[in-house]
Amino acid sequence: MEYIDFEDKNIVVVGGTNGMGLHLVHKLLELKANIIVLGRNINKPELNDIKDKCHFLACDISNSKEIDDTFDHIHDKFKTLHFAVNNAGVTAPYSNISELDIDKWKKIIDINLTGTAHCLKREIQLISQNKSGAIVNISSCAGLQALRMQAAYSVSKAAINMLTQVAAIECAVDHDGAHSIRINAVAPGPILGGMNNEENLQKNPEKTQRKLSITAMKRFGTAEEVANSVLWLLSQKSSYTTGVILPVDGGFNSGKFN
């Protein structure tokens, strides 16, 4: 599928220094976008080959001042945004609610929900200077179905889904009809990479099999498949789509499988 929407357009990828976010950055580079990459660590060796092709900004989205300072810088340098992807997020150790560590709960909510909401606020302000634009939030299948032992993560992603839909109806058209911002979310299932790297999968084959068994397709997804879904939602190929939470999960959300 060819895209012409992104050439010379400004797009911020929050959480774009590893995993699915970094894969998306590489895809956007192929599409000749002007990419602003936000991440806590922008000095990773794996970023060296694209350091001169993107604008990297260090930002911890659990820190509201850092978010404001970062988006002030984006405004000063780029004046406007056309697209945004909010991919930053963290997980927590498995725990029953009865044994929940409230400090870890707060950390998850601060980053996954509050930090994303703050970024979304600033992105909407910058994108609304244009006639149209689009934002994609990265949610999770854990935000669509309850998962045992993952209360903080699941609640944070379920809240992202609702945040996405509230923002979508608020930004579908402004009161003067001057601009429209489409806002959607992608909810990935088990994706290769990160915690699902080859070493971890081989180390615990029983756990690996459990992850595979929750999907109808009986396989892991790839960062490429997630990136393709994000690009479609950002592009004009989905021009009548807003407020959607798109599962990219091999059928996990469709039911339970043996």
Full strand arrangement of the beta sheet holding 55-58: 55-58, 34-39, 10-14, 83-86, 132-138, 180-188, 245-248
Q: Which of 27, 21, 26, 18 is nearest to 46 (CA)?
A: 18
| Strand runs labelled E in the chain | 10-14, 34-39, 55-58, 83-86, 132-138, 180-188, 245-248
For residue 221, what are the β-bridge partners?
191
Q: How many Cβ atoms from other residues are within 10 Å of residue 252's Cβ?
A: 24
For residue 196, what are the β-bridge partners?
193
Active site residue 153: yes
Residue type for position 153: Y
C-alpha torsion sign, points 63, 43, 6, 250: negative
**Pairwise CA distance, residues 35 & 16, whole Å:** 10
Q: Dig out the tokens for 254 from the structure.
A: 């469709």
Catalytic residues: 153
